């Protein structure tokens, strides 16, 4: 355990920002969001749960996979894997947990996702403990916690006189080498109050509820707006398409990109001939919840939800994942 003051932390971050791409919580017009920063000046040190997860920095919402250059009938394809190192500073433990969930599919299932793996290998996760649970948070029910170190390289706990920094991995030890260390003042804090736990039902108990009316009740008011998948730290579906970036006589430059996709989108499962096996909103909302609590754990191991609560806060029609979990628990 290392201790430093806010000033020490800022000096360390300023130096990091010169060496790597530094991403940290910032204030964007009143919204707390992770953003690339040039120095510690732009960083928030006392902040709520950021409105979006950190997945964008390892699995970007739009990512160029290939550059394709077509000259007449000749085509050249170049793989795009930028060789940048990044530190994600101040991410919440649930965001690191979300990345671990994505790891189970993108790293651990063959073949690994080449792009995600590339970014993941070049990323250090420096987490900031939560001193409280926020609106909708239920991480403690999903195997995490406000001070969970499990999926981080470093966990920082803010206290009265400064910050306690706990390296968790060798990467974490290495990144803390330049930190100005001081004598600890006081004790690391603890969380005083936890949100009510939410019941987690194992995958096999979800199966008999596939045709239950729960899905109608929760799904009919869904707007198919897809904000839940956008804010989710574990939703990882994607679409792949081309965009033409430059056209000159005899020369076309194309980028093959992948972009986030969402199973709550009406056309998600529509096939080329027009048939849609998931034609209604309840069908699609059910798929999202089954992916998280039944399919993903069965196929890849971890539950597909970390209890960050973002989808609860973001949903314009108050679809609440914890209400769904409670309804499922009642039925089993």
Partner 1 sequence: MSPDTNPMRPYLGRLAGVKDLATGIKLFQIELLEDEGKAAFADYKPGQFAFVSAFGAGEAPFGITSTPARTPYLEFAVNALGHVTFTLHALDEGDPVGVRGPLGNGFPMDRIKGHNVIILGGGIGGAPLRPVIQTILDHREEYGHLTILWAARSPDLLVFREEFDEWRTAWATDFHVTVDRGDETWTGRVGLITQLLEEISPSPENAIAITCGPPIMIHFVFLTLKKLGFAPEQMLTTLEARMHCGIGKCGRCNLGEKFICTDGPVFWQYEIAEFLEGFL
Kindly state whether residue 319 participates in binding partner 1, applying the rule CB under 8 A.
no
Stretch touching partner 1 by CB under 8 A, among 39-47, 63-71, 145-153, 174-182: 63-71
Name the residue nearer to partner 1 (CB basis): 204 or 318.
Answer: 204
Cβ partners under 8 Å of residue 148, min gap 6: 93, 97, 139, 155
Q: Does 65 bind partner 1 (CB under 8 A)?
A: yes
Q: Of the candidates 191, 256, 323, 326, which one interacts with partner 1 according to CB under 8 A?
A: 256
Nearer to partner 1, 129 or 303 (CB): 303
Residue 184, token pair as written in the block: 């600890």
CB of residue 105 to partner 1, shortest distance in Å: 7
**Quick check: 213 binds partner 1 (CB under 8 A)?**
no
The minimum distance between CB 269 and partner 1, in angstroms, equals: 7
Instruction: Output the furthest CA–CA distance in the chain (Å, rounded).
Output: 70
Residue 105 lies near partner 1 (rule: CB under 8 A)? yes
Distance CA 313, CA 296 (A): 23
Q: Which is nearer to partner 1, 138 or 293 (CB)?
A: 293
108-147 residues near partner 1, rule: CB under 8 A: 109, 111, 113-114
Distance CA 53, CA 324 (A): 22
Q: Does 216 bind partner 1 (CB under 8 A)?
A: no
Nearer CB in complex with partner 1: 286/310 = 286
Please say whether the dihedral angle defined by the alpha carbons of residues 58, 238, 305 and 110, taken in this order, is positive or negative: negative
Could you say which of 39, 225, 295, 314 contacts partner 1 (CB under 8 A)?
295
The closest of 297, 127, 271 to 201, measured between CA atoms, is: 297
Q: How many CB atoms lie within 10 A of CB 286?
A: 24
Q: Which of 28, 77, 181, 223 binds partner 1 (CB under 8 A)?
A: 77
By CB under 8 A, residue 210 contacts partner 1 = yes
- Give the one residue of 133, 168, 254, 319 binding partner 1; rule: CB under 8 A: 254
Q: Is 185 one of the binding residues for partner 1 (CB under 8 A)?
A: no
The stretch near partner 1 (CB under 8 A) out of 14-22, 27-35, 249-257, 313-321 is 249-257
Check whether the bond before 111 is cis (ω within 30° of 0). yes
Q: Does 238 bind partner 1 (CB under 8 A)?
A: yes
Does position 101 interact with partner 1 (CB under 8 A)? The reply is no
CA distance 302 to 298: 8
Question: From the list 173, 223, 240, 251, which residue makes contact with partner 1 (rule: CB under 8 A)?
Answer: 240
| Positions in the binding site for partner 1 (CB under 8 A) | 65-66, 68, 70, 73-75, 77, 79, 105-106, 109, 111, 113-114, 207, 210, 236-242, 244, 252, 254, 256, 258, 261, 263, 268-273, 275, 277, 287, 290-291, 294-295, 298-299
């Amino acid at each position: 355990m290392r201790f430093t003051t806010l000033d020490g932390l800022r000096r360390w971050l300023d130096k990091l920002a010169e060496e790597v791409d530094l991403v940290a919580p910032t204030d964007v017009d009143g919204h707390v969001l992770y953003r690339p920063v040039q120095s510690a000046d732009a960083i928030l040190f006392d902040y709520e749960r950021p409105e979006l997860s950190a997945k964008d920095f390892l699995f970007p919402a739009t990512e160029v996979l290939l550059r394709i250059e077509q000259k007449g009938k000749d085509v050249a394809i170049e793989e795009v894997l930028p060789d940048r190192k990044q530190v994600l500073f101040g991410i919440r433990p649930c965001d690191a947990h979300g990345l671990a969930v994505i790891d189970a599919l993108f790293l651990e299932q063959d073949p690994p996702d080449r792009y995600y793996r590339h970014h993941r290998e070049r990323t250090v996760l420096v987490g900031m403990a939560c001193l409280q649970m926020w609106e909708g948070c239920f991480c403690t029910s999903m195997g995490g916690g406000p001070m969970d170190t499990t999926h981080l390289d470093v966990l920082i706990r803010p206290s009265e006189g400064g910050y306690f920094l706990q390296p968790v991995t060798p990467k974490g030890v290495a990144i803390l080498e330049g930190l100005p260390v001081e004598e600890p003042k006081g004790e690391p804090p603890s969380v005083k109050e936890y949100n009510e736990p939410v019941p987690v039902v194992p995958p096999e108990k979800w199966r008999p509820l596939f045709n239950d009316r729960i899905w109608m009740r929760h799904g009919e008011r869904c707007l198919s707006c897809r904000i839940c998948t956008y804010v989710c730290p574990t939703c990882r579906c994607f679409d792949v398409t081309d965009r033409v970036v430059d056209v000159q006589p005899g020369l076309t430059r194309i980028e093959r990109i992948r972009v986030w996709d969402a199973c709550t989108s009406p056309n998600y499962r529509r096939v080329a001939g027009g048939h849609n096996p998931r034609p209604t909103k309840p069908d699609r909302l059910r798929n999202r919840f089954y992916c998280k609590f039944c399919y993903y754990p069965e196929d890849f191991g971890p539950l597909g939800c970390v209890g960050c609560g973002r989808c609860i806060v973001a949903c314009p029609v108050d679809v609440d994942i914890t209400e769904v979990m409670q309804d499922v628990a009642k039925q089993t």
